Amino acid sequence: MCGIVGYVGRHNAVPVLISGLESLEYRGYDSAGVAVLQNDGIGIRKAKGKVDNLRTLLLNNPVSGKVGIGHTRWATHGAPSDRNAHPHFSNGEVIAVVHNGIIENYQELKDELEAKGYKFESETDTETAANLIYDFYKECNDLLEAVRLTLERIEGSYALGVLCSDCPDQIIAARKESPLIIGIGQGENFIASDIPAILEYTRDAYILDDKELALVKADSIQIFDIEGNEIEKSVYSYKWNVEAAQKSGYDHFMLKEIYEQPKVVKDNLAHRFSEDGKHIELDGIKLGKEQLKNINQIYIVACGTAYYAGLVGKYLLERIVRIPVNSEVASEFRYKDPLIDEHTLVIVVSQSGETADTLSALKLAKDRGARVLAIVNAVGSSIAREADDVLYTLAGFEIAVASTKAFSAQVTAMYLITLHIAQELGKISDEDFAEIKTALDKLPSQINDILTKAVPAIRKFVNKYIGSKNVFYIGRGLDYVVGMEGSLKLKEIAYLHSEPYAAGELKHGPIALIEEATLVVGVVTQESLFDKTKSNIKEVKARGAKVLAIAMKGNSSIEEVADDVIYIPRTHWMLTSILANIPQQLFAYYMALGLGEDIDKPRNLAKSVTVE
């Protein structure tokens, strides 16, 4: 969740650290800080709030040096404050540490250190690591060994960057269950939680695996396992460019990413069909007929927006392939003691490929003999490396905390996987496949059509409904799933109380919440369910609700019951989820904009949830 960056080289580290932290601020913005090796020791500057606050502090109270580490925080232990901000000193100010993760046994370690006379200044678990490293360092006088010994004592997750005032030419980095890469430069090297922090300087990096450490100097990088044995790593070269991590003229990253969706869907469809368009061809997927015929159930496991993309997959796989599918929230999956074995296919979905709960679910599935297929965006991520099969979603950077283009990419992946399995098992006719393929080819231009034509109407609806205090989304089948994602977006960035309900369940309780002028968003794109959902809209209208409907072009009778309607282009029934979601994204965006909220950095949230 937190963002880490480090630099060792020929130049002043501070501009590199600040630039990196700004690029990583989507990972946490409760506080930020830097630690820099100076001639007289380590200088730390840190401030509550966003990186801009740290930048202002550094103008008034500068530090300078050629080796440094930085951190932007999403709080776990201890409230956001200057005192709890990273980096953290050890006693004696010999060791400085930045940390992403949770040290689960920190209280036990803290008690031991306090018994030895150590004093603690913060409420964080990280300060325990700093003092434990210092305690070992005093014994062995070797920073790398002191960090290694500390990691043997720590239980939980970590990505660490460590400075020592006695070692002015190096950074020690380590990871377990929290992402960390080592950027490779010319006469300078870097550490970072994610490539955006260092993309301006290098595209080449080592990706640390769990329980690996790195000794990083300006002209060398050495990587070790937890026993202290030096190991060789392959260099990974990122293909993304600097522009991909910039706003490119848009007011917010979220708006930019909404408008990138036609390209994202097109990229995910390109080169994934045979030349004649009659067969699916998925690189990285080795699931053929022989493997699939032994599968008797499927689990789809994910968190947040990815979970809703997984629900789309569940609906399609069960209806088209006719295999039982369980869709599970990753944070609950392990604790249910799920009934999985070698006849189970587990599909895990994660934009970052580092989502802690999803990664844990993957490991459990593999331990029980299940085959794991990962749908991820981040190449080389932990989930991608652990899975048996990988389908990359090719969405590029997604910087805004509220996910938009990742959802469209993940749903497109669900379309492809459904068609792949259906073809391999002979569950789809050539005629039906061709019909869906034709509809898929039209999707990018249809998304663009919505983005081009719908915005003026949506802005008008926002002005009309900006005073809403409670918003309910209703739909049936795939429309209900789409409503879940629309409701989440409104919660995340506009901070409005919003709930999705299956339209058929209204009379079983939720309709009691409807009162005069309550806003209900009715998603009505499934033509086989159109009349039933229309009847449900009549029921909420009869109780005073205002209704904004999202319907398929041509179904104009919805205007009889809705106050306002947004139409999506006509498409195949299984492809409506992406098109119906675009207006919801725009509605949430412009509602948040109208309410004056910080759209890219919503309170209490971070982009990549790497702790449980």
Provide block-wise average pLDDT over 10 residues at a time, the chain (612 residues): 92 96 85 95 95 95 96 85 94 96 94 97 95 98 97 94 96 94 97 91 93 97 97 88 74 96 96 93 88 95 97 98 96 91 97 90 96 92 92 90 96 97 96 97 98 93 93 97 97 96 94 93 96 96 95 96 96 97 97 95 74 55
Helix axes of 13-23 and 51-60: crossing angle, nearest 10 degrees: 160
pTM: 0.87
Same domain, 442 and 491: no
Is residue 608 assigned to a domain? no
Is residue 138 assigned to a domain? yes
CA gap 524, 450 in Å, rounded: 16
Helices (H), 172-303: 253-259, 261-269, 289-292
Best CA proximity match to 198, nearest among 358, 4, 410: 4
Same domain, 270 and 395: yes
Give me the pLDDT at residue 245, please.
66
Give me the pLDDT at residue 229, please.
96
Domain containing residue 572: 454-594
Is residue 543 assigned to a domain? yes
Q: Who contacts 508 (Cβ-Cβ below 8 Å, separation ≥6)?
A: none
Token readout for 509 is: 């309780």
Last residue of a domain, one of 418, 451, 484: 451
Strand partners, 225: 212
Number of folded domains in the chain? 3
User: Domain holding 130: CATH number?
Assistant: 3.60.20.10
Last residue of a domain, one of 417, 451, 485: 451
Same domain, 511 and 413: no
Active-site amino acid positions: 2, 607
Q: How many residues does the chain have?
A: 612
Strand ranges inside 297-379, DSSP E: 297-302, 325-329, 344-350, 371-376
For 399-456, write each residue's pLDDT tens digit: 899 999 999 999 999 999 999 999 999 999 999 999 999 999 999 999 999 999 999 9
Same domain, 458 and 442: no
Last residue of a domain, one of 429, 451, 473: 451
Is residue 609 assigned to a domain? no
Same domain, 318 and 433: yes
Same domain, 474 and 524: yes
Give me the pLDDT at residue 195, please.
87
Give me the pLDDT at residue 248, please.
82
Best CA proximity match to 576, nearest among 557, 556, 551, 559: 551
Same domain, 432 and 465: no
Is residue 294 assigned to a domain? yes
Strand ranges inside 405-541, DSSP E: 470-475, 497-502, 519-524
For 168-219, write each residue's pLDDT tens digit: 999 999 999 888 999 999 999 999 998 889 999 999 999 999 999 999 999 9
Is residue 610 assigned to a domain? no
Q: Who contacts 474 (Cβ-Cβ below 8 Å, separation ≥6)?
A: 480, 483, 500, 501, 502, 503, 506, 520, 521, 522, 523, 533, 536, 537, 540
Best CA proximity match to 540, nearest among 468, 473, 463: 473
Same domain, 257 and 157: no
Same domain, 206 and 64: yes
